[in-house]
Structure formats: C-alpha cells, structure tokens
Structure 1
Amino acid sequence: MLKLENDQLLVEVAAQGAELQKIYHKKEKFDYLWDGNPDFWGSHAPNLFPIIGRLNEYKYNKDGQTYELPQHGFAKDFEFEVAESSAAKAVFVLKSNEETQAMYPYDFTLTITYSLEGPELKVAYKVKNHSAETMPFSIGGHPAFNIPMNGEGTYDDYTLTIDPKKEVSYFEIDPVPYRSGDKKPFKDMENGILKMNHETFRDGLIIIDEPNIETVTLASPNNKHGVTVDVSEFPYLCLWTKEQMDAPFICIEPFYGLPDVIGEVGTLEEKEGIILLEAEEQKDVAFTIATF
C-alpha cells in the first residue's frame, strides 16, 4: 500500500488497479472514501479502462474477430508498476501485455498520477497509443464517498449540487446496466441540486448528459464536512449507489465514455462517447477531489 500524506489528509493507494483505498481526515479521524464493505459493494474507487460500463454480451468485434472485456474494462484487475513515489505524489503505470492484448489488441501505456496538495487530491490519467492504428478507448473514475461523513447526520440530510446550476438530462438505463437509447430530464435534480435519497437510485446508475458541468459538491447542512469533485474535463457525470439496497455511499464518477445501448454486439469505434486516439498520440484528462 502506497501512502500520500500532509498535515490534513492521509491517502492510501493500492498497486492493484492503482485504486484509491482511503482519503482520511487526520485531525478528526474519519475517512471520506467508502470502506469497500462487500455486503454492499467491495470496491472503493476503481479506475475504468479501456471501456466504461458493460458491452453487449461483454463482447465487441474487430477485424473479423470477437473479443471479450469485463464490465468497466480490465485496469482494475491488474497490478500497476509504481513509477514514482513521494509524500505528495504517486505515479502508477500499466503497459499492454499478453493478457491485455487477448482482450484488447492494442499497445498502450496507461499512467495514473495521484497528487496531494492541502485538502485536494488530483487524479490524472494519461493514455499513450503505441499501436500503428487508431485506438478506441474510454477512461473514467469511480470514487465512492461515505454518507454520512464522520457519522454526522443521515443519508437524506445530504445534497449533491452541480455547478453551474442548471436543468440536466440523463440516459435511461433499461435493463441495468445498459442504456435504452433514450434520454430523460432529471426531474429529481432541481436547478442543479439533488436531495439525496435511495429511491432516486433504485433503478440503477444515473449518467448525466451534460458536458459543461464543472464541479459536483456532496454536503449537508448538518455536517461541516463534504467533498467537491471537479469533473470539468469529462463529458459525462455518473451518479451511483448499489441498486435495491440502502447503501451508505454515493459514487461521483467522471466518465469519458458510456455503456452500450442494449442490442447487438458491435465495434468499439462505433460506441457513443468513445475516444479515438491516433497512433503514437496521447490523451490526458484529470479530476480533483477537494475535501472540506
């Protein structure tokens, strides 16, 4: 386990999946990040690559062959190399190998950098395409935050606020976790503010189709602590907690990509929201978690 630390926060990251394990408030001794209780959901903050969501039948076609990819891709399943480590910064690297190429026949380097400054943690992704052809991929984060924080208040005390405040639409999920192909106005979110309740998430994840959201703030009037996630570099925002369970967390997920619309197996190039990276080019994108 690799640790980043300053006078305010202790952050822990595992080499497995380069996944965040803890964002700990040192003075008041509580964790902002979900603890991974498997009774609800056994992860903390997976990194999603080279797809987001689930493919139809977990499959896609390329050059006359059919390949299989797990939901949210495989980055979460591999141990990353630690390329750099200090009190304020950690750099993790995953390079394509025989196992990845059996699922995803491209040469790539995925670099994930965690940088800690004061009360803020930056998560930066860099994807380099070493293939001789265009590489289709998606990238995203999946951090889960405790509700309530520091044991103060209840789930329903909290709100999620997007800025700039606006009315937004979301992709209908039917059946879970696929998209139906339709979009709906997000009526539970009024002028950018969602009052938290589990009923909103009974039918699955909510992917907001609004590329101009800058920040998402999780807070409560009954608690001085919360988080603001800067998602401004990502075109989609996903909100999720475990379906059909009153789970004490919410995921605030910056997405650069989308799950499949339910239907036939297709190609990655045809997926809505996919990134097409030319040979020897790289894509950089980041989000920041600001704690208070």
Structure 2
Amino acid sequence: MITLENEELLVEISPHGAELQKIYSKKDEIDYLWSGDETYWGRHAPILFPIIGRLNEDKYKKGDEIYELSQHGFARDKTFEVEGTSDETAIFTLQQDDDTLDHYPYEFKLTVTYTLIGKLLSVDFKVENQSEERMPFSIGGHPAFNVPLNGEGNYEDYTISISPKHEAQYFESDPVPFRSGSKRILEAMKDGILPLNHETFRNGLIIIDEPKVDMVTLAGPENKHGVTLNVGEFPYFCLWTKEQGDAPFICIEPFFGLPDIAGEIGQLEDKGGIILLEEGEERQLGFTMEMF
C-alpha cells in the first residue's frame, strides 16, 4: 500500500489497479472515500481503461477479428508498477502483457499520477500509443464517496451540484448498462442542483452529456462537508450508486468514453466517446478532488 500524507489528508493507494483506498481528513476525522464494503460494492475508485461501460456481448471488432473485453476494461484488475513515490506524489504505470494483448491487441503505456496539495488530490492520466498503428481507447475515473459523511445527516440531506449551473442532459439507459441512443433532460436537477435520493438511481447509472460542466460538488447538510471534482477535461460524467439496497455511497465519475448503444457488435474505433491515438502519440487528461 502506498501512502500520501500532508497536514490535511492521508491518502492510501493500492498498486492493484492503482486504485485509491482511502481519503481521510486528519483534522475533521472524516473518511471521504467509500470503504469497499462488498455487501454493496467491493471497489473504491477503479480506473477505467481501455474502455468505459459495456460492449455489446462484451465483444468488439477490429477489422474481421472479434475480441472480448469486459465492462470498463482491464486496468482496474491489473497490478501496476510503482514508478516513484514521495510524501505527496505517487506514480504508477501499466503496459501491455500477453493477457491484455489477447483482449486488446495494442502496445501502450498508461501512467497514473496522484498528487496531494492541501485538501486537494489530483489524478492525472497519460496514455502513450506504442503500437505501429492507430490505437482507440477511453479512460475515466470511478471514485465513490461515503453518504452520509461522518454520520452527518441522511442520504437525502446531500446534494450534487454542477457549475456553471444549467439544465443537464443525460443518456437514456435501455437496457442497463447500455445506452438507448436517446437523451433526456435530468428533470430532478433544478438550478444545477440534484437532491440525492435512491429512487433517482433505481433505473441505473446517469451519464451526463455536458462538456460545459467544470465542477461537480457533493455537499452534505448546510454544505458543511463534501467534495468538489474539477472534471473540465472530460466531456461526460456519471452518477451511480447500487440500483437496489440503498447503498450508502455515490460515485462521481469523469468519463472520456461511453457504453455501447444496445445492438450489434461494433468496431472499437466507432465506439461512443472514443479517443484515437496515432502511432507514437500520447494523450494526457486529469481531474481533481478537493475535500471540504
């Protein structure tokens, strides 16, 4: 386990999946990050690569070949190399191996860098195409936060707000977790604020199609404690909690990629929200989480 620490926060990261395990406020004695209780959901904040969401039949085409690739890709289940650490920075890398090449026939290097600055934690991704051809990929974060925080209030006392404030469109899910191809206005969000309620998520994840959104904030009673994500580099973000069981967490997920529209197996390079990297190119993206 890798630990980052300053006067404000203690952060733990596992090399398995380069996944955050804990974000703890030392002064307020608050665990912000979901515990990973398998009663509800056994993960904390997985990294999604090289796809986001589900493929039809968990398969895609590359030319005339068909490959299998499970939901959200394989990075979350691979052990990363620890390239460097300090009190406030940790760098992890993942490259192709025989297993990944069986499912994703590209040579790549994924670098994930965590940096702690006061009450802010930045998560930075760099994807390098080391193949001798164009490489399609998606990438995103999937952090889950405790609701309520530190036992303050109930689930329904919390809100999600977006900045700048405006109506938000989301992709209709049909069947979950696929897209139907249609979009709707998120009626439950008024003036950029969505009151949390488990009923809102009974029909599955809510992927907001709003590249104009810069900040997404989870706030508790009287806005005393919460977390603000800067997601401006990502064209979509997803809100999700378990559809059943009234789970005590909410995920706020910056996405650069989308689940398939339900239907036939397609080419990966045609997948919604896909990024295409030419041979030798790289792409950097990141988001931040600031605790309050």
How many percent of aligned residue pairs carry the same amino acid? 62
Structure 2 unaligned spans of 5+:
none
For 1:181, the equivalent position in structure 2 comes to 181
Match of residue 206 from structure 1: 206
- Matched with 1:34 is 34
Equivalent in the alignment of 1:265: 265
Q: Aligned residue for 2:288?
A: 288
What secondary structure is seen at the aligned counterpart in 2 of 1:207?
strand
CA distance in 2 between counterparts of 1:191 and 1:222 reads 17
Secondary structure of 1:28's counterpart equals: coil
Aligned to 1:131: 131
Which residue in 2 is equivalent to 1:277? 277
The aligned counterpart of 2:216 is 216
CA-atom RMSD in angstroms: 0.8
Distance between the aligned counterparts of 1:220 and 1:65, measured in 2?
49
* Residue 244 of structure 1, CA deviation: 1.9
- Does residue 196 of the first structure (1) align with residue 196 of the second (2)? yes
**CA–CA distance in 2 between the matches of 1:207 and 1:134?**
27
* Counterpart in the other structure of 1:76: 76
The one-letter code sitting in structure 2 at the alignment partner of 1:142 is H
* Deviations 1:192-241 (CA, angstroms, capped at 9, x unpaired): 10011000000000001111100001112346110000000000010000
Asked whether the equivalents of residues 153 and 222 of structure 1 are also in contact (C-alpha less than 8 Å), the reply is: no
Distance 2:272 2:48 in 1: 16
Matched ranges for 1:1-292 at <5 A: 1-222=1-222, 224-292=224-292
Contact 1:219 1:226 in 2 (8 A): yes
One-letter identity of the residue aligned with 1:148: P
Unmatched runs of 5 consecutive residues or more in structure 1? none
Contact 2:137-2:276 at 8 Å conserved across structures: yes
Q: Which moved more, 1:167-176 or 1:213-222?
A: 213-222
Q: TM-score, normalised by structure 2?
A: 0.99
Give me the whole-angstrom Cα distance separating, in 1, the residues matched to 2:255 and 2:64.
29
Could you tell me how far apart the structure 2 residues matched to 1:222 and 1:202 are?
26
| Aligned amino acid, residue 93 of structure 1 | T
The count of aligned residue pairs is 292
Instruction: Report the Cα offset of residue 118 of structure 1.
Output: 0.1
Once the two structures are TM-superposed, the CA of residue 70 in structure 1 deviates from its matched residue by 1.0
Report the 3-state secondary structure (helix = DSSP H, G, I; strand = E; otherwise coil) of the residue aligned with 1:22: strand
